[in-house]
Amino acid sequence: YRVDFIPLEKIPVWSPSGDSSCKPRYKVNEELNRKISLFRGDITKLEIDAIANAANKTLLGGGGVDGAIHRGAGPLLRKECGTLNGCETGEAKITGAYGLPAKHVIHTVGPIVHDSVGESEEQALRNCYYTCLHTAIKNHLRTVAIPCISTGVYGYPPDQAVEVALRTVREYLEQNHEKLDRVIFCVFLKSDKELYETMLPAYFPRG
Ligand code: ADP
């Protein structure tokens, strides 16, 4: 037992703070609202069924969240990743989590944005969120944390990525709510936390 591990029980369900100027884009659904959390911090500390990794196509480790996950998991993760033949953009592969408190890591590869976001980059980012959740339910995993895929070195503008993340998770949960207990948006930067707090009421409005 490590004191800096964060069990699911310590992560509150999302509830809106203050007034949101953001108009609802979906119907009020309290059952779905109870399955959403916004957590700011290190995804490697979460003691849950699965954490998603914003990996690269080699799956052999990199910087940012990928580096943190490989450091925390230890060399056995890299060893297992080495048997997977990489991963295409918008797809996902699942592994053990080794030294991490999570049970599994779902590695996905986000799109790289060079100048501006086009239809194919948006579709790829949507696929990342969709396939992470789908990989979780196929493996009977009920609690998943997902970082802000592609918004670091891969250059996807965070204000556009948040919309893709929230829309994809909302629509996935509408179809598969009985198979998932919690989806945690794990943000690292204060600016991302603020973006999610602003946009969550549009996608998961309260009654
Ligand atoms: P990508 O290559 O997909 O852009 P990055 O790792 O560069 O991935 O960035 C994705 C997001 O992960 C960024 O918002 C970054 O701040 C965040 N991040 C970095 N380290 C961690 C961590 N330990 N836990 C959660 N999020 C993290």
Atom of ligand 1 nearest to the CA of 64: 6
Closest CA to 125 of 106, 112, 114: 112
Is 0.95 topped by the overall pTM?
yes
Q: 187 C-alpha vs ligand 1 centroid, how far in Å?
A: 8
Is the C-beta atom of 112 inside 6 A of ligand 1? no
- The residue contributing the CA closest to ligand 1 atom 5 is 152
Residue 189: which pLDDT band, with cuts at 50, 70 and 90? very high
Is the C-beta atom of 111 inside 6 A of ligand 1? no
pLDDT at 1 over 90: no
Collect all residues with Cβ–Cβ distance below 8 Å to 5 and sequence separation of at least 6.
45, 46, 47, 101
Q: 3 C-alpha vs ligand 1 centroid, how far in Å?
A: 23
Q: 121 C-alpha vs ligand 1 centroid, how far in Å?
A: 18
- The residue contributing the CA closest to ligand 1 atom 3 is 150
pLDDT at 2 over 90: no
Residue 165 identity (one-letter amino acid): A
pLDDT at 19 over 70: no
Q: Which residues of 185-197 are buried (b: 16+ CB within 10 A; e: fewer)?
A: bbbbeeebbebbb
As a whole number, mean pLDDT of residues 191-202 equals: 96
What are the start-end ranges of the E strands in 59-197? 92-96, 104-109, 143-146, 182-187
pLDDT (0 to 100) of residue 133: 98
